[in-house]
Amino acid sequence: MTGLVKSEFRKIFTVNLWWALLIPVAVLSFGAGWLGTAFGSIESLQEATGQPLPTGLLTVSMSTNYSTIFAALFGALAIAGEHRNKTISTTYLTGNPRGAVLGAKLIAHTGIGLGYGLVNVFSATLGGLLGAGFDGFGNPLDWFTVGAAGLLAMVLWTLLGVGFGALVTNSIVVVLALVLYKFVIEFILSSMLFSTTAAGFVAYLPGAAGNGIVGNLAVPIFISTVAGQSEPLVPVEAFQILHFFFGGTYGHPWWLSMLTFIGYAAAFVVGGWLVSRRRDIT
């Protein structure tokens, strides 16, 4: 198994895909951190509350929720890319059984996904420091908590991508499906369900669950820090507005979002494994 994992790392670093997708993660995260903490209304809000606002926590959440698509694409092309390049036959022949190949890809891509998460968190933090200084992150423990959730979300999206790529294998379909679902289809579904009796189901959709891993931590921490003892008096609408922009769902705990998304990732991985075992690669 160690040899297979090493082989996967060699494949990853031999081609340019890993850094081609990492660059937009760094740029997007830095931009979200900087612009999200530097816009003019922040100063007036700080004057109204009489204290610094930990907006950096919110921008880390926002950058994570947008950047995870690149981790998912990177993971999805782990197997779909090999089908496109016609190298999957050699991979399966030299790494038999096929389940071991998928396992090696999951291990290797977990490591790269963790790297993506670190770049995201530190890029967003650097942007936030330029926009709001150290006061923009509040308690260091809060930053660490939100950042750790960001790492977890990035890794889980990577693993979901690996499973999805193993299930579908067509690289064009994989890319289009992930992008369209995350940014278009789920938004439409959420909008349709929002005013119905099934509105509570929205938090369990894949994108909402993935976003909630970080957003359902960052938003409550932000509100608690700003409102202090007056937190029970904060209107629900304030939470909902922040969740709309920075991810998550009001009243939904982050750990439930995490477990929900782990379920989706596991389903795709198991599905990819079952299908790849029987797929004809000739």
Low-confidence ranges of the chain (pLDDT < 50): 40-41
126-149: per-residue pLDDT in tens? 998 888 788 778 889 999 999 999
Terminal alpha carbon distance of the chain: 25
Six token digits for residue 154: 């990035």
Query: What's residue 90's pLDDT?
Result: 73
- Token readout for 259 is 């477990």
How far apart are the C-alpha atoms of 112 and 250, rounded to whole Å? 31
Composition of the chain by helix, strand, coil, percent to 5? 85, 0, 15
| Both structure tokens of 238 | 């304030």
C-alpha distances in Å from residue 218, one per residue of 151, 182, 235: 14, 20, 17
Cβ density class 215-234: b for 16+ within 10 Å, e for less:
bbbbbbbbbebbeeeeeeee
Structural tokens at position 63 = 């950058």
Q: Give me the pLDDT at residue 40, please.
A: 45
Distance (Å, rounded) from C-alpha 248 to C-alpha 216?
5
Residues 96/61, Cβ–Cβ less than 8 Å:
no
Looking at residue 50, its pLDDT comes to: 60
Distances (CA, A) of 185 to 181, 212, 231, 266, 275: 5, 18, 34, 21, 25
Measured between alpha carbons, how far is 97 from 82 in angstroms, rounded to an integer?
Answer: 17
Closest CA to 18 of 73, 90, 62: 73
Dihedral through CA 98, CA 103, CA 105, CA 110, nearest 10?
Answer: 170
Our CA dihedral for 106, 107, 113, 118, rounded to 10 degrees, sits at 160
Residues 278, 279, 281, CA angle at the centre, nearest 5°? 135
pTM value is 0.92
The pLDDT value recorded for residue 281 is 67
What pLDDT is recorded for position 237? 87
pLDDT of residue 38: 64
Extents of the domains making up the chain: 2-277
241 vs 237: CA distance, rounded Å: 6
- Tell me the residue length of the chain: 282
For 229, which DSSP code?
Answer: G
Q: What pLDDT does residue 43 have? A: 54
pLDDT of amino acid 266: 97
Tell me how far apart the alpha carbons of residues 155 and 109 are, in angstroms, rounded to a whole number.
8
- Count the Cβ atoms, other than its own, within 10 Å of residue 107: 15
